[in-house]
Amino acid sequence: MQKFAPHRRRVLQLTAGAAAVGLASPALIGRARAAGSITVADPGGPFREAFSTAFYRPFEEATGNTVINVARDAEPTAQFKAIVETGSYTWDVCTLTISARDILAAQDLLDPIGFSHDDVPDLMPEAINEFWMGTDVYSTIKAFRTDILDKGPSTWAEFWDVEAFPGVRSLRQNPIDTLEQALMADGVAPADLYPLDVDRAFASLDKIKKHIAVWWSSGAQSTQLIQSGEVDMIPGWNARLQAAIDGGAPVALDWTEGLYSIEGWGLPKGGPRADLAREFVRFCSDPERQAAYTSVLSYGPTNLKAYEHIDAERAKILPTSPNNLSKMVIANSDWWAENRAEVSERFNTWLLS
């Protein structure tokens, strides 16, 4: 198999300026207009608590408008499409990953958010385009048991080195992230990962396959595996691994050669409350508002000025703190959107072989 070339997408031009009424700085938003109501969809669980504290209740207090919160499906693109095509706007704003954003933008199912990076210059550049604003950064990193290993693997080459770093290992039962880890274990620099050399990745996975005790398939399972001590080292989503530490497990995290991605707000095209939804999204760009959710969620704010309002010890466990972010690269969602089906089929066949 040859390297897959990344899919070329139309570049989304950033909207110049925020001229529309209601897109002023969050601090300037007032109660002049008649109170309205928007429905905001998020993943539920800890997001509900964190975003209520950081965004929903403060927006209500600042504007006099009401925010109704609902939980969305784990993969909301089908729901999002149905909302637009039927005109039944049960949501006004919804959290979307980068890949979900690109799928919906390609189908012309998103409304512009009405402001650009120029309006919020402290926002990470990759966290905003015409149709979407990222609010939180999550990452895939390594964790290891400190009661078993004096020093855990830092690089993926070390994770693959079963002699220098003995212990029970786990990997994700999914080619996403796992192929990137295999390539870095084989010497590919993080900056040179894409387009992925799929043949080389599987050759690297062949070397570690017999040493993988468990292939995890959910975030909850990854937490349980490292927290219980069933495995000694594991890659996983940082918040899930942090949950094991918060639960008292002797676990350490390593951010070297991690992969990160971003989740944020998108608006369904043609929504009847789009202006108020845009006002809400802009409100969520505020650094103090983003700092507020980090006390509940160990995800990184996209407005890096938020770190002026985050305790230094808490900042150490967040993906976008300077020390952690500098060790990682952003995952290429375009490449996976183009190649996921074919690579997933090959990965599942490989697992059974």
Q: Which of 47, 57, 25 is nearest to 95 (CA)?
A: 47
Domain identity same for 176 and 54 = no
Q: Give CA–CA dist 206/155, Å, rounded.
A: 18
Question: How many structural domains is the chain composed of?
Answer: 2
Kindly report the backbone phi and psi dihedral angles of residue 62, in degrees, each rounded to the nearest multiple of 5, phi listed first: -75, -30
Where do runs of H (alpha helix) occur along 284-318?
287-293, 312-315
- Residue 47, amino acid: F
Q: Are strands 128-129 and 233-237 parallel, antiparallel or unpaired?
A: unpaired
Please give the biggest Cα pair distance in the chain. 67
The token pair that represents 4 in the structure block? 């897959």
Q: Residues 138, 219: contact at Cβ < 8 Å?
A: no
Burial status of residue 244 (CB atoms within 10 A of its CB: 0-12, 13-18, 19 or more): buried
- Per DSSP, the chain holds a count of helices (H) and strands (E) of 14, 12
Q: Residues 235, 179: contact at Cβ < 8 Å?
A: no
What helix, strand, coil percent values describe the chain, rounded to 5?
40, 20, 35
Q: Give CA–CA dist 61/151, Å, rounded.
A: 48
Domain identity same for 228 and 342 = yes
pLDDT tens for the chain, residues 1 to 353: 444 443 333 333 333 333 333 344 444 444 444 579 999 999 888 889 999 999 999 999 999 999 999 999 888 999 999 999 999 999 999 999 998 999 999 999 999 999 999 999 999 999 999 999 999 999 999 999 999 999 999 999 999 999 999 999 999 999 999 999 999 999 999 999 999 999 999 999 999 999 999 999 998 999 999 999 999 999 999 999 999 999 999 999 999 999 999 999 999 999 999 999 999 999 999 999 999 999 999 999 999 999 999 999 999 999 999 999 999 999 999 999 899 999 999 999 999 99
Domain identity same for 249 and 269 = no
Task: List pLDDT tens digits, range 241-274.
Answer: 999 999 999 999 999 999 999 999 999 999 999 9
Instruction: Give the pTM.
Output: 0.84
Q: Read off the CATH number of the domain in which 78 is found.
A: 3.40.190.10
Domain identity same for 344 and 280 = no
Beta bridge partners of 32: none
In which domain, by residue range, is 122 found? Answer: 26-137+262-319
The token pair that represents 146 in the structure block? 């400190």
Q: Give CA–CA dist 230/140, Å, rounded.
A: 20
Domain identity same for 212 and 231 = yes
